[in-house]
Amino acid sequence: MAPRVLIADKLSPAAVRIFEERGVTADVKTGLKKDELLAIIDQYDGLAVRSATKADKDVIAAAKNLKVIGRAGIGVDNVDVPAATGAGIVVMNTPFGNSITTAEHAIAMIFALARQLPAADLSTQAGKWEKNRFMGVELYAKTLGLIGCGNIGGIVAERANGLKMKVIAYDPFLSPERAVELGVEKVELDDLLARADIISLHTPLTDKTRNVLSREALAKTKKGVFIVNCARGGLVDEQALREGLDSGHIGGAGFDVFITEPATENPLFGAPNFVATPHLGASTLEAQENVALQVAEQMSDFLLTGAVSNALNSPSISADEAPKIRPFVALAEKLGAIAGQMVDEDLKSIEIAYVGEVSKLNTKPLTAAALAGVLRPMLAEINMVSAPTIARDRGVAVTESRQELSPVYDSLMRITVAAGSTRRTFAGTVIAGKPRVVEMDGIDVDAPISPLMLFVGNTDRPGFVGALGTLLGANGINIATFDLGRMAAGGQSIALMGVDQVVDDKVLGEMLALTNVTEVRLLSF
C-alpha cells in the first residue's frame, strides 16, 4: 500500500507532483480546523506543513500512524519537536530554500523606511501630492547593524555592501575571518546599538536571543534609528518599540514577524513610520518552489527508503550503520550540548577526538551531531545536516582526530571548544548503550546524562556537599543523580547532578554565592 501524506498548508503544486511521481499518495486539505485535523491525522504516514498548521502534542498524540512531519521552510515553531521525538516521528525542515528571499525582504523593508514609501503611496493615491512631507534619507554611507550574521544575515550584508553602506554585526559565532570575507566589522551588542543607523535582526528565537532588543537595549540606540525584523517575533520588546516610535527616538520600524501571529492587532499598529507585512519573508514564487520540492523529495525518500535528510530530531544514517552508530550519535550530541552550554564567549574552534573502537566507525554523522549540540544553544533551528555548513559559514574551525588505542575505555569521544581566551574539554563514552560523561575540563567524573543537570565548579573543602544539598532541598529541587570529581585533595573539583526540576536564576545565584563555589551551570538536553 502506498504511503499517504497530508499537505495541510498551501504548497506549490510542484510538491504534489513530486509525491505522485515517487509513488506517494498526497492529499491536499488546507485550512483545517484543529478538530478536523485531529479527526483524520491517523490516516496518514506523513504531514507536510508550512507555518499555519500547528502540529502540537494533541495532533501528535492522535497521529497513530504518522512517521514524518515535513516543514516547507526553516522554523519549526509550529511543530512540537519533543513530542514528535517521543512518538518516534521524524521532523524535517528545508533550511536553505528561502534564504535569498528573506534577505531581499529585509532590504525592501530598509528601503521602505528610508523613503517612507507606504505612507507616500497612500498620500499620493489619495490625491494629496505632499511632496514636501516625505523627506527621506539616503542609505549610502549609513551604518547597518546586523544582529545575527549567519546564512540570511550574510546575504543581507553582501547586498548592503553593494549599496555602499557600512556593515557591522553582532554574532557570537561569527569569526574574524568570516567577517572579513563578508566585508563586515564584528562588534559587541552595545557597540552596535550605539553606532547603527539601521538595525536588522537575523537570528533564531532562543532563550538567549529572546528580547535581544529589550527596553534597555532600545534606549541605547541612536536617535532616529530604523529597526527591521524579518526573522522571528519575540526578538524585540514590541511595547517598548511602540513607545520609542511615538517619542521619536526610534525613527521607523519594519516588521514581518510578530510575537502573536496572525497579528490581527498589535501595539505597533498605527505607529508613526511603521511598516508591517504578514510574515512574507519566504513568500516568493522561487522560494516556495524550492522548499516545496525539497520537502516533497525528503519526505518521499524517508517513507520509501528510510533515508533521513535535514532532520531536526534524527541523525542521517543508513540502515546498515544504524545499530553501531546510533548510541555514539546520542553521545556526540549530548557532549556537544554540554560544551555549547558551558561557553559564553565567541566560539573559535571545535576539536573532536575519537579514541578506541569508535575511531573505526563512520564519524561524519558523529561530528555533525556534536556540532549541532554545540551550536544549538544559540541557533535553535540547527540540525545535523545544516550544522557543518553553518559552522563553516561562521568561520568556526572544526578538526577531527582518531586514535585506535584507548587506555581506559573501549571507546572515548572528547570535544574541546575554544571560545574567547578559554579552552574547555568534555569527554564521554557509551556504556550499555547509554551515553555517560567521564571527564570535564581534565577532571575525571562518571555521570549519566539526564534531561536536566546542574554543573557546579568549586574548591574541594569540607561542608560543600551538605550546603549544596540543603540549598536545593530548601528550594524544592530533587537530586536524581550526584557525581563528584576533583583534581586533587583541596584542589579544583566539580559536582555533576541530575535534577528533577528546572532551577531558576534566583536559586542558581544562591548556589554561586555558596562558599568555595566558582561556577554554576544549568544544563538541559
Residues identified as active-site: 232, 261, 279
Omega before 323 within 30 of 0, i.e. cis: no
CA dihedral over 176, 178, 184, 188, signed as positive or negative: negative
264 burial level (CB within 10 Å; 0-12, 13-18, 19+) = exposed
Rounded CA separation 361/328 (Å): 10
d(CA 110, CA 144): 10
SS3 per-residue string spanning 224-236: CEEEEECCCCCCE
Structure-block grid coordinates of residue 219: 534606549
Pair 369, 322: CB distance under 8 Å: no
292 CB-near residues (< 8 Å, 6+ apart):
11, 12, 14, 15, 18, 72
CA 286 from chain centre, in angstroms, equals 24
Sequence-distant contacts of 208-211: CB under 8 A, at least 24 apart: 208/377, 208/378, 209/148, 209/235, 209/378, 210/234, 210/235, 211/235, 211/236, 211/237
Handedness of CA 337, 449, 451, 45 (dihedral sign): positive
